[in-house]
Amino acid sequence: MRIAVTTPTGNVGRHVVAMLVRAGLRPVALLRDPARLPEAVRDHVVAVRVDLDDADAVAAATAGVDALFWVNPAGPDGDPVAHHARLGAHAARAVTENGIVRTVFQSSVGAELRHGVGEIDGLARTEELLDATGAPVLHLRCGYFFTNLLLQPLSDVVPVVLPVDRQMPWVAPRDIAEVAVHRLLAGWTGRRVQAVHGPEDLSWEQAAAVVARATGRPLRAERIPDEEMRGMLRGAGRGVAQVESIMGMSTGMRDGFVPEQPRDATTTTPTTLAAWAYAELRAGLDVDVRV
């Protein structure tokens, strides 16, 4: 079986590649710079240099592929929603032209709303484009990535626009990869949706407390007004479309949103935020943590 993996050095993709290698497969790794692949896996994959924003290149790179793990990578400055929709069209074309038997798409909780959730709207467009191919497709509706915390300072205050006590799914990227690989290897028919909710719903208040215990450094979440957050994003060099795409991912799911897929045995994954934080955030910190 030939399985192609996009973003094979990303938070989820690198785990997908490693798991497929351990399963005895030789995955096709699609990326701009093959030199970025870890040395440990370079001899166990077929590395193909490709820009996912090049439709012809994507179609050529996936010729002869049986299954596809597709992720829309972040794009350059501009309109993130349009970027996602464009990449989704490239994926759909590759699936159709190459007769790819099944595709796992890394989507997001909130894509079920289809409109009004910022950048996630672009993932919804990709879902629709892949659905239109008529080929078997599985949309993974993922919760909030633990790895997003790597973009935050490890001490002080995390500014958010959600109520700090509002709970939502948080998930480890490795767990997403495990679900994706299991489904790629097991197969399915038709269109499927599976949420990946992590082990439990957490509020920003709870998450900050977990990270503080893991790192031994103070951290708390503080809700700020929407316009203040927009100003912070603009100050960081974000354009108008980017600012609204980031804001919408929170504001669009702020008032009474409930994920379409409930938390149950099929959507709950094992890695806790505490376990991830101790493994990932404490690395390199000169701290003495006693709990």
- Rounded CA gap, 226 and 8, in Å? 35
Q: Report how far residue 217's alpha carbon sits from residue 148's, in angstroms, rounded to the nearest whole number.
A: 18
Q: Which residues of 121-159 are buried (b: 16+ CB within 10 A; e: fewer)?
A: bbbbbbbebbeebebbbbbbbbbbbbbebeebebeeebe
Residue 236 amino acid letter: A
Report, as an integer, the average pLDDT of 205-221: 93
DSSP states of 100-156 as a string? -SEEEEEEETTGGG-SSSTTHHHHHHHHHHHHTT-S-EEEEEE-EEGGGGGGS-SSE
Give yes or no for residue 289 having a pLDDT over 50: no
The whole-angstrom separation of Cα 99 and Cα 249 is 33
| Antiparallel, parallel or unpaired: β 3-6 and 28-31 | parallel
pLDDT per residue as tens digits for the range 26-42: 999 999 999 999 999 99
Single-letter amino acid, residue 192: R
Q: Residue 284 above 70 pLDDT?
A: no
Predicted TM-score (pTM) of this structure: 0.94
> What is the torsional sign of CA 122, 125, 131, 133?
negative
pLDDT at position 18 is: 97
Provide Rg for the chain, Cα atoms. Answer: 19
pLDDT tens digits, one per residue of 124-175: 999 999 999 999 999 999 999 999 998 877 679 999 999 999 999 999 999 9
Taking phi over 0 as left and psi of -120 to 50 as alpha, with beta for the rest, 217 belongs to beta
Instruction: Give the model confidence (pLDDT) of 80-133 as tens digits.
Output: 999 999 999 999 999 999 999 999 999 999 999 999 999 999 999 999 999 999
Q: Are residues 69 and 5 in contact, defined by beta-carbon separation less than 8 angstroms?
A: yes
> Which of 193-202, 206-215, 279-288 is predicted least confidently?
279-288
Of 226, 262, 245, 248, which is closest to residue 143 (Cα–Cα)? 262
88 and 131 Cβ atoms separated by less than 8 Å: no
